[in-house]
Structure 1
Amino acid sequence: MSFYTALSGLKAQQTELGVISNNIANVGTTGFKKSTAEFGDIISSAPLQTSTVAGQGTRLRGIDQQFTQGGFENSDRSLDMAVSGQGFFVTRSSQSNSQVSYTRNGSFRVDANRYVVDSSGAYLQILPTDSEGVLTATGLNSTRSLQLPLTSGTSSATGSVDLSVTFPTDADLPASRSVYTAQNPYAFDRFDPNSYNQSTTTTVYDAAGTAFPMTTYYIRQNIPSGATTDTTWVARTFVGDKEISSDPNVSAPPTPVTLTFDQFGTLSQVNGATPGAVTTNQVRPTGATGPIGFSLTYGANTKMAAAPFTLTSFSQDGYAAGQLDNVSVDSNGLVVATFSNGDSQALGKIVLATFSNPEGLRQLGDSKWSSTGVSGEPQINEPNTNGTGLIQSGALEQANVDITEELVALIQAQRNFSANAKAIEAANTMTETIVNLRA
């Protein structure tokens, strides 16, 4: 029997070595929980047997997980999270699949559809909240997958443009200029810099919030001489690849804006009338979801002066919806998205699950577990309630493995293994001696 007794010891220490080796191998695994092997002695007993009997070896009673808190490692990502407490993050394997798993690995990322997922693609679960971050539903069945929005708010098409320009008094006529007349409106080529003096490029928006460049080309038409004291400039404006007309009723050929300055450099006329707003026609540049047209005003600061050409000011009332700028997670699990237009939006609260007996959870790999009858049903709560713990954003929980302790245990298991091997060797020697006895 000594062979089998020592053999059970060998198997036990082999299992112990495997458990320790697994702990050491996962010392760098985020959210990993170490395990320990538990053994029991084997006794063969009968009703009339004496109370003092020799044992028959050892057996594996189970491999228990140790859900002690691991240390935190700082991270620069807001979607890297660690739980300081007993709670587990809740994930689902797919949108349509109800399979739920629990993890302490808070390394999350965003997939192609803007969902927050873990390394295996499972979806992080949150509970819905109102705009103030107060829960509006509770329980596992009320959870949903966290999806980050791309935009916030609504966009608005440009309806008015107000700009001021300083024109140089010493500007020459364009080298390839032909004087603009109603009969000769196309004496200009925007791809030929010799056909205009200066250009400016700004931005306007269509109804969907798509930005388009608004490029205006300025062409000096005359130099005052004799009785002519006024100076005329022509402004031809393109939105994207389409030229707008300053006459909303005439789109072809487009009518440019004519700016007239008196001898003192003051803007005296726009399109032959008192300076004021000019209503343009509607154009639809390539890529626009709808037509773009606006009220165009050259402000009071528009003038001619002995100064370089300058776009003094520009403003327009169109805007795009806010683009996602940042995502933050507070210690209570509230996820808030902020956008480029200054908006902020509460997306929900990350839920944490606790168990009456976490050691009874079934391991799934990748620092994930599923509930069992031994672990008990999960208790779903928001962070910082009922012992779930706080969430620390920008940190990851390290494995709760003490490498020094594991190396000492490894040496001890190795020696125990050698001792059991020696016991087998001794039993073999004794058996061999008995077999070799001669009468």
Structure 2
Amino acid sequence: MSFYTSLTGLQGATKDLAVISNNVANVGSTGFKKSRIEFGDIISTAPTLSPTQLIGSGTAVKNVRQQFSQGATQQSANGLDMAITGEGFFVVKPSLTSSQVSFTRNGSFTVNADRYVVDSTGANLQIYPVDGSGTVVATGIDSARNLQLPLTSGSPKGTEAVTLALNLPAADDVLPSRPIYDANNPYVFDRFDNKTYNQSSTTTIYDSLGSPVTMTNYYVKTQATPTPQWTVHTFVGDTEIMPTGQTDPLVLNFDTSGSLTSPTTAITYEQFTPSSAGPQIISQDFGNDTTQRAGVFQILSGSQDGYPVGQLEGVTVDAKGVVSASFTNGTTQALGKVMMAAFSNPSGLKQTGNAHWTVTGLSGNPRLGEAGAGDFGSIQAGALERANVDLTEELVDLIVAQRNFQANAKAIETANTLSQTIINIR
């Protein structure tokens, strides 16, 4: 009987060595969770047997239980790498059309040839759809979609507002103020003749198709006293545009100290067609910082609110899992929010390899949610969760398992010696 009792000890020690060896072998596996073997003693009994006469029959493996403690976080240079601080899991699908999902703590994500974000096995990261502010608009597994990075920012925006602040030199000469196309007058403004204007500035604006168009302002000093005045001829491409309801160009009026007195608000111009795009209306605001003072002509600031189609420049993930793309035109776009899952009994999940798990009856169904809520945890971008294996602890356990194996082998050797002694009795 002792042979079989010690045999269960050998088998248990062998399995213990296998579990520890697997932990040690995966010390460098991202998102790996170590396992712990649990034993139970075997008792053979009968209703008539006295409890004081029971002798154990060995040991048996009851569970190989996974340990889902937090692993150490390691910084990464890849912005799509993600580490979960908490109990949540990433949700991934093995293919674009698959209805099957699996769960992982391995946040090593990259972009494939079709611009889908995938993990190291090629499984697609699942996200919730969001609105422009990053708020989730639909939840549940049926609302999940594969995260794909766009190449462009979508629709361009035609310029609607231009803002300028500049200093016009007080020492500039006054040029005759005449109707623009008065052939009977020797002075006629001509944008191709720099003697007919004092200064000029250019601003790149955009039509509704995102094509750049040059807007040029020509500044003509028309009065010095009692208060300075400057006429501003505004051209978009080769077309001069006028303020709404006017037939003459915009006039800037200054006080004796050189501060702008009018216009003090944005001036809207008549509708124009800058290119093959549709009609467009813009406003121009010289603000309160435009002056006419001593010194050189200087553009103090300038901006416009249009932009072309932008090319993808970068991707970021915040602590709540919102994935945002930035583009070369200065715009950003929320692409989605990383879907998270949590389980009542994560130890009941079935391992499928590569730090992936699937649902079983022991784990229960997943609870789906978002990072930063409940026990789902938060996301740290540009980082990876290392295996939660303590190498020192595993090596000590390895020694203990080895000693257990040796002790059981010794018990079998002793039982064999006793049997041989009995056999040799004559």
TM-score, length-scaled by structure 2: 0.65
Which residue is 1:92 aligned to? 93
Which residue is 2:254 aligned to? none
State the alpha-carbon separation in 2 of the partners of residues 338 and 400 from structure 1.
34
SS in 2 for 1:322: coil
Question: How much has 1:153 moved relative to structure 2?
Answer: 3.2
| 1:346-385 matched pairs, under 5 angstroms | 346-385=334-373
Deviation >3 Å, runs of 4+: 153-157, 205-211, 276-279
State the alpha-carbon separation in 1 of the partners of residues 341 and 126 from structure 2.
11
SS in 2 for 1:78: coil
For the pair 1:416 / 2:404, whether they are aligned, the reply is yes
State the alpha-carbon separation in 1 of the partners of residues 354 and 329 from structure 2.
39
SS in 1 for 2:14: helix
Residue identity in the other structure for 2:130:
T
State the alpha-carbon separation in 1 of the partners of residues 392 and 29 from structure 2.
17
Question: How much has 1:126 moved relative to structure 2?
Answer: 0.4
Residue identity in the other structure for 1:34:
K
Which residue is 1:78 aligned to? 79
State the alpha-carbon separation in 1 of the partners of residues 238 and 211 from structure 2.
23
State the alpha-carbon separation in 2 of the partners of residues 209 and 369 from structure 1.
47
Residue identity in the other structure for 2:356:
K
Which residue is 2:57 aligned to? 56
Which residue is 1:46 aligned to? 46
Which residue is 2:32 aligned to? 32
State the alpha-carbon separation in 1 of the partners of residues 128 and 276 from structure 2.
44
State the alpha-carbon separation in 2 of the partners of residues 277 and 144 from structure 1.
45
State the alpha-carbon separation in 2 of the partners of residues 337 and 86 from structure 1.
27
| 1:20-419 matched pairs, under 5 angstroms | 20-51=20-51, 52-154=53-155, 321-419=309-407
Question: How much has 1:141 moved relative to structure 2?
Answer: 1.4
TM-score, length-scaled by structure 1: 0.64
After superposition, the Cα gap between the structure-2 partners of 1:18 and 1:208, relative to the gap in structure 1 and judged at 3 Å, is farther
Q: How many residues align?
A: 296
After superposition, the Cα gap between the structure-2 partners of 1:210 and 1:107, relative to the gap in structure 1 and judged at 3 Å, is farther
After superposition, the Cα gap between the structure-2 partners of 1:344 and 1:155, relative to the gap in structure 1 and judged at 3 Å, is closer
Question: How much has 1:412 moved relative to structure 2?
Answer: 0.5
Question: How much has 1:137 moved relative to structure 2?
Answer: 0.7
After superposition, the Cα gap between the structure-2 partners of 1:378 and 1:338, relative to the gap in structure 1 and judged at 3 Å, is same
Question: How much has 1:277 moved relative to structure 2?
Answer: 7.1
State the alpha-carbon separation in 1 of the partners of residues 115 and 209 from structure 2.
21
State the alpha-carbon separation in 2 of the partners of residues 24 and 149 from structure 1.
41
Residues 332-386 of structure 1: CA deviation (Å, up to 9, x unaligned): 0000000000110000100110000000000000000001111011000000112
For the pair 1:435 / 2:423, whether they are aligned, the reply is yes
After superposition, the Cα gap between the structure-2 partners of 1:56 and 1:395, relative to the gap in structure 1 and judged at 3 Å, is same
Question: How much has 1:278 moved relative to structure 2?
Answer: 7.1
State the alpha-carbon separation in 2 of the partners of residues 5 and 16 from structure 1.
17
After superposition, the Cα gap between the structure-2 partners of 1:277 and 1:8, relative to the gap in structure 1 and judged at 3 Å, is closer
Question: How much has 1:293 moved relative to structure 2?
Answer: 8.8
Fraction of identical pairs, as percent = 57
Question: How much has 1:319 moved relative to structure 2?
Answer: 7.7
When the two chains are superposed, the root-mean-square deviation of aligned CA atoms in Å is 2.7
Residues 130-172 of structure 1: CA deviation (Å, up to 9, x unaligned): 1001110111111111010010134699xxxxxxxxxxxxxxx
State the alpha-carbon separation in 1 of the partners of residues 310 and 113 from structure 2.
20
